[in-house]
């Protein structure tokens, strides 16, 4: 039967078949594990349902165990979209040419880190990065976290003129911001650095005793979380698909969905907005 078709149509059939396969492929995204996995699954399954309705394709959320795993999944095309932190987003885009940042939370344009201290330190709220911290124990969040490692280490080096390992008696990496808060609140570590939104959410949820742990310093603002998409999605899902994803993210206005981030909304962003993060990552030799 194929021999009876016009030659041009016969030649086009394989391309049409490939295109239909691409259209049938699910659009997969992930998110850095900045909180515990149960919360992430709850948060992002709702986002998957929203995107599926807006984009009219099957959308799947797949959790990952670490920031590095999120970058690897993006690089290996196991996911096409990711909710990254500033540093992990830069790392991912450098590994996949043509990839671009699409949207950040309104709050992400001026993000900040809180340094917190256990009551046993004797440090007062707003004390700053002071010499009295020297020889105490300190925990970052994940090694790949912008707000839990990159920027706090940057400001620690500025304040003390040394690497954190030279300043503190013990330096740890909790793995996520919620864990940092609980470790300092329990006294397992005397000091820690974490994402300010997680701190505020933990307090509001009653997971922290405000008398046992307090904020002693907050960093200047910097750009952080963002949605990043692979540069080849238009080839797989149709011309203009990346732009459609961006618009769907910008149009996300359901208070329940936004609260799960938590963000008040999303705004456009591009790769150049994260140049400062790339530069700090290079300076600290933790970009790779």
Whether 112-218 and 2-109+223-283 are alike in CATH topology: the answer is: yes
| pLDDT of 36 | 61
| pLDDT of 144 | 87
Whole-number mean pLDDT of the chain? 90
Tell me the pTM: 0.82
The mean-pLDDT minimum among 4-8, 104-108, 228-232 falls in: 4-8
| pLDDT of 6 | 52
- Residue 242 pLDDT exceeds 70: yes
User: What's the 3-state SS for the chain?
Assistant: CHHHCCHHHHHHHHHHHHHHHHHHCCEEEEECCCCCHHHHHHHHHHHHHHHHHHHCCCEEECCCCCHHHHHHHHHCCCCCEEEECHHHHHHHHHHCCCCEEEEEEHHHHHECEEEEEEHHHCCCCCCCCCHHHCCCEEEECCCCCHHHHHHHHHHHHHHHCCCHHHHCCEEEECCCHHHHHHHHHHCCCCEEEEEHHHHHHHHHCCCCCCCCEEEEEECCCECCCEEEECCCHHHHHCCCHHHHHHHHHHCCCCHHHHHCCCCCCEEECCHHHHHHHHHHHHHCCCCC
Local confidence band at 209 (pLDDT 50, 70, 90 cut-offs):
confident
Region 235-250: mean pLDDT is: 97
Region 36-49: mean pLDDT is: 81
CATH topology of domain 112-218: D-Maltodextrin-Binding Protein; domain 2 (3.40.190)
| pLDDT of 259 | 83
Q: Which superfamily, per CATH, for 2-109+223-283?
A: Periplasmic binding protein-like II (3.40.190.10)
| pLDDT of 211 | 86
For the chain, what are the domain ranges? Answer: 2-109+223-283, 112-218
- Residue 40 pLDDT exceeds 60: yes
Percent over 90 (pLDDT), the chain = 76
Region 176-198: mean pLDDT is: 94
The mean-pLDDT minimum among 6-15, 42-51, 273-282 falls in: 6-15
Percent over 70 (pLDDT), the chain = 90
| pLDDT of 155 | 97
Q: Which residue has the higher pLDDT, 105 or 9?
A: 105
pLDDT digits (tens, 9 = 90+) for 111-154: 999 999 999 999 999 999 999 999 999 999 999 899 999 999 99
Region 152-167: mean pLDDT is: 96
pLDDT digits (tens, 9 = 90+) for 2-35: 444 455 444 444 444 434 444 568 999 999 986 6
| pLDDT of 13 | 45
The mean-pLDDT minimum among 128-137, 191-200, 204-213 falls in: 204-213
């Amino acid at each position: 039967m194929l021999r009876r078709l016009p030659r041009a149509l016969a030649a086009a059939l394989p391309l049409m078949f490939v295109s239909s396969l691409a259209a049938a492929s699910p659009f997969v995204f992930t998110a850095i594990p900045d909180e515990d996995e149960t919360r992430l699954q709850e948060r992002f399954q709702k986002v998957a349902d929203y995107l599926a309705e807006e984009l009219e394709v099957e959308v799947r959320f797949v959790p990952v165990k670490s920031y590095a795993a999120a970058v690897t999944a993006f690089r290996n095309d196991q996911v096409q979209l990711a909710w990254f932190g500033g540093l992990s987003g830069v790392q991912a885009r450098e590994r996949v040419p043509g990839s671009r940042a699409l949207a950040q939370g309104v709050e992400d344009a001026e993000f900040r880190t809180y340094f917190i201290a256990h009551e046993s330190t004797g440090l007062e709220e707003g004390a700053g990065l002071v010499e009295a911290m020297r020889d105490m124990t300190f925990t970052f969040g994940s090694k790949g976290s912008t707000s839990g490692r990159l920027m706090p280490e940057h400001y620690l080096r500025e304040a003390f003129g040394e690497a954190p390992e030279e300043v503190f008696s013990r330096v740890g990496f909790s793995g996520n911001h919620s864990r940092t808060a609980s470790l300092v609140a329990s006294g397992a570590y005397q000091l820690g650095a974490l994402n300010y939104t997680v701190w505020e959410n933990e307090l509001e949820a009653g997971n922290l005793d405000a008398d046992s742990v307090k904020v002693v310093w907050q960093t200047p603002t910097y750009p952080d979380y963002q949605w990043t998409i692979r540069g080849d999605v238009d080839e797989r899902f149709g011309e203009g698909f990346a732009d459609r994803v961006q618009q769907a993210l910008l149009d996300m206005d359901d208070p329940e969905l936004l609260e799960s981030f938590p963000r008040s909304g999303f705004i456009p962003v591009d790769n150049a907005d994260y140049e400062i993060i790339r530069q700090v990552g290079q300076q600290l030799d933790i970009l790779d």
